[in-house]
Structure 1
Amino acid sequence: MANRRRTSWIDQFVLREDVNNPFVQVITSAQQVARVAEDRVGLTRAEYDDVATARYQARVLEDLARMLDEDVVAHGRKADEALAGETDPVVRARVLTNALTGAVRASAMLVDACHTLLGLSEKLLVIRRPGSRLTLMAAVEQTRAAASTAHLTVLVNLPRITDVALYDELNSGIDTFDVTLARANRVASALRSEVRVGQAMPVQRATQLR
């Protein structure tokens, strides 16, 4: 991934810290989903095929998130170069506008990628091994966080978008985030429903732990 150690002009509009970077979060989540999809023990033929397809699609989403992340870095680099050099003010303004527009568009596309990735996660609920389901839960929660951050990025920067067509496109897609959030909640709820918390520990095991 691109180097993010140096502060860029674009950082004031898009969260790019390695820990909370939504693009990096989706890359990691997609890798986790693909890994879970490799666990196909005990599946029916139809389930096996669905899970195999989900693995391929998760890899595609991983590549997409990485490409979007690199796009944001590239937009930031162009903006920084325009600010550092003796660029004509009109040209500089155009470069900065394009950089912001590109970064916000990438964030909107990431929300769509999160929605698709959560759909793939839902298909993997047929996988029963505890370790795989824990990994899937981690991926779902991380995808939810990435979607929330990317969605907020679009909301915060929408008033700064001067491209009328893009503004209308982004504005019309804002409400669809609720659908994405509902999907994340549904998958997380399905995973949690099988967890039994507070069950009494077997006497023999409890004695061993004393």
Structure 2
Amino acid sequence: MPHADDRGSWIDQFMLRDEVFQPFRQVAQAAELLAHVAEDRAGLTRITFDKVRTARYQALVLADLARLLDEDVAVLARRADDALAPGTDTARRARILASVFTGTVRATATLIDTCHTLLGVAQELLVIRRTRSRLELMAAVEMLRGAASTAHLTVLANLPRVTDSVLYDELAVGLGSLDVTLALANRLTSTMRSDTALGGPMPAAHPLGSATAS
């Protein structure tokens, strides 16, 4: 496998881990946003209230999962970089790098499943009607769509390098699930846009600096 360059860890040549395109952190942020949306329970019935409360708990659990996956990849990256230090036995280095690569790809594949589950959580939150919360819900769905696409492309690009036949078969089968995930994201977006369009025009805003009548 190739060596690291001067831009970062050895593992960075196989995935995006910069501040902008970091799918693990994007998913964690989206999950936290969903949990925040679920705190808005104005006007909900008791049954709906309980569903939203459950959705909030699920979102927080999945936010923790995304952060744990991110931490796992960071640990793997450090292991790989340590293995590249001068004096490391060649055979041992090869084993470590192969293990790190496999672990990173597996973590990325798990993230795709996490995105799909979180979109299911978002679906439960469609009952929330406040404008600000709906906007946050839309933003979370778009973040999850982007993270799922990035994670999918990461797995797809690295699949030819996977030497574990069992993992290869698992990943190859799982890659087809992206269409289902994106279809769910599209349905959510379409539903929210339709709801917004049917809601009628926004109320007119007062000009800045104008005084209200007393």
* TM-score normalised by L of structure 2: 0.89
Distance 1:206 1:50, change over 3 A: closer
Counterpart CA distance in 1 for 2:191 and 2:170 is: 33
Counterpart CA distance in 1 for 2:148 and 2:111 is: 7
Counterpart CA distance in 2 for 1:179 and 1:207 is: 44
1:207 positional shift: 9.7
**Cα displacement string for residues 112-147 of structure 1 (whole angstroms, at most 9, x for unaligned residues):** 000000000000000000000000000000010000
Between Structure 1 and Structure 2, how many residues are aligned? 201
Aligned-partner residue type, residue 80 of structure 1: D
Distance 1:153 1:58, change over 3 A: same
Aligned-partner residue type, residue 109 of structure 1: T
1:206 positional shift: 8.5
* TM-score normalised by L of structure 1: 0.91
Counterpart CA distance in 2 for 1:42 and 1:196 is: 21
1:195 positional shift: 2.5
State percent identity of aligned pairs.
61
Counterpart CA distance in 2 for 1:208 and 1:53 is: 41
Cross-structure match for 2:146: 145
Cross-structure match for 1:28: 29
Aligned-partner residue type, residue 16 of structure 2: L
Cross-structure match for 1:188: 189
Aligned-partner residue type, residue 187 of structure 2: R
Aligned-partner residue type, residue 118 of structure 1: L
2:92 match: secondary structure: helix
User: Does structure 1 residue 106 correspond to structure 2 residue 77?
Assistant: no
Distance 1:160 1:126, change over 3 A: same
Aligned positions of 1:1-210 closer than 5 A? 7-196=8-197, 205=204
**Cα displacement string for residues 83-122 of structure 1 (whole angstroms, at most 9, x for unaligned residues):** 1231111111111111110110000000000000000000
1:195 match: secondary structure: helix
1:84 match: secondary structure: coil
Counterpart CA distance in 2 for 1:133 and 1:178 is: 24
Counterpart CA distance in 1 for 2:106 and 2:132 is: 36
Aligned-partner residue type, residue 185 of structure 1: N
Aligned-partner residue type, residue 195 of structure 1: T
**Cα displacement string for residues 165-198 of structure 1 (whole angstroms, at most 9, x for unaligned residues):** 111111111111100010011111111112239x
1:46 positional shift: 1.2
Distance 1:201 1:106, change over 3 A: closer
Aligned-partner residue type, residue 189 of structure 1: S
1:159 positional shift: 0.6
Aligned-partner residue type, residue 24 of structure 1: R
Gap runs ≥5 in structure 1 = 1-5
Gap runs ≥5 in structure 2 = 1-6, 209-214
